[in-house]
Amino acid sequence: MKTVRTVRDLRAALSTQRSAGASVALVPTMGALHDGHLELARRARAENDVVVMSVFVNPAQFDDPADLAAYPREEAADAELAVGVGVDLLFAPPAEEVYPPGFSAWVQLDGPIVLSLEGAQRGVGHFRGVTTVVTKLLGMAAPHRAYFGAKDAQQARVVRALVADLNIDTEIVTVPTVREPDGLAMSSRNRRLDPAERARAVGLFAALRRAQQMTSGGERRAEVILVEAGRILAEHRIAPEYLALVDADTFLPAGTVGARSALLLVAAQIGDTRLIDNVRLEAPPSVR
């Protein structure tokens, strides 16, 4: 595996294989790799000829400077893990390569998919930072496919809207969330949890799983599902920033779980660590 730090070197490294017709995958990450990222890379490896992984802690998407400063940076360990899953090229640019002096081409979407939930909690700058850096990474690597985790469900939806609206010729692949054995969604932030916080954090998935059980049992009413999921969060002393049932496509509140796919999403601060998770809720065919 080769590591490159400039767009010029990235393009040069890809040019021969691209001219020979090879398919190129991009796995965008902010590093501190865990099995969730590695699953994206494994899937990319299985479906493409060349796999590029970007490792860039994007300052533009952090609303809180302390969160940006605390974000783990461990490129050497990331490189070893990336080699292990067959990444061909690691793109680890310095901030000036992505945002040179005078940079002003921000990419900003509109509507509930960017304004609700994460957008409302973290401010409009968050998704503006994500859509700007993703547009740039897609422009830099020009991949045939790019891989995103389902844990960041709203981000994945926003990225799909981005490539559709800007006619970017990259297929967006969303890969299911990878979980710890007790259900906690893998996240680079989990390592910041102390043992007591780690024990409480399982409440996030416990609440979501309970909602899944309820919908499999025929419950469709959002208010009933949200009260019960909220009760499970409270049992784990988790006060959510949001716990919401939304239409998976529009991100508008869903009153019921019906034939259209709905997402139940949660965000919460556990100690100093902010975690998010979600599950898809579907009504069984018999109650649609």
- Which residues would be at the binding site for ligand PAF (CB under 6 A)? 28-30, 58, 61, 130, 133-134, 152, 155
* DSSP 8-state secondary structure symbol assigned to residue 253: B
Half-sphere exposure of 89 (CA within 13 A, CB side): 23
Report the residue number, 155 or 215, with the smaller CB distance to ligand PAF: 155
Question: Using CA atoms, how far apart are residues 158 and 130, in angstroms rounded to an integer?
Answer: 9
Distance in Å, CB of 87 to ligand PAF, minimum? 14
Burial environment of residue 191 by CB neighbours within 10 A (0 to 12, 13 to 18, 19 or more) = exposed
Q: Which two tokens stand for residue 174?
A: 């969303």
CA atoms of 26 and 55, how far apart (whole Å): 11
Q: Is 144 one of the annotated active-site residues of the chain?
A: no
In the chain, the DSSP E strands lie at 2-4, 24-29, 50-55, 89-91, 145-149, 171-175, 240-247, 262-270, 273-281
CB of 4 to ligand PAF, least distance (A): 17
Nearest distance, CB of residue 76 and ligand PAF, angstroms? 19
Q: How far is CA 221 from the centre of its chain?
A: 27
Would you say 100 or 285 has its CB closer to ligand PAF? 100
Q: 150 φ, ψ to 5°?
A: -70, -15
DSSP code for 243: E
If the CB atoms of residues 189 and 220 are measured against ligand PAF, the closer one turns out to be: 189
Biggest alpha carbon distance in the chain?
Answer: 58
E strands in 32-119: 50-55, 89-91
Which of residues 37 and 198 has its CB atom nearest to ligand PAF in the complex? Answer: 37
Active-site residue among 34, 37, 126, 236?
37
C-alpha span between 15 and 37 (Å, rounded): 25
Q: What angle do CA 236, 240, 241 make, to 5 degrees?
A: 160
3-state secondary structure of 17: helix
Q: In angstroms, rounded to a whole number, what is the distance separating the alpha carbons of residues 224 and 218?
A: 12
Name which of 188 and 256 has its Cβ closer to ligand PAF.
188
Q: Which residue lies nearer to ligand PAF by CB, 61 or 256?
A: 61
Which residues are known catalytic residues?
Answer: 37
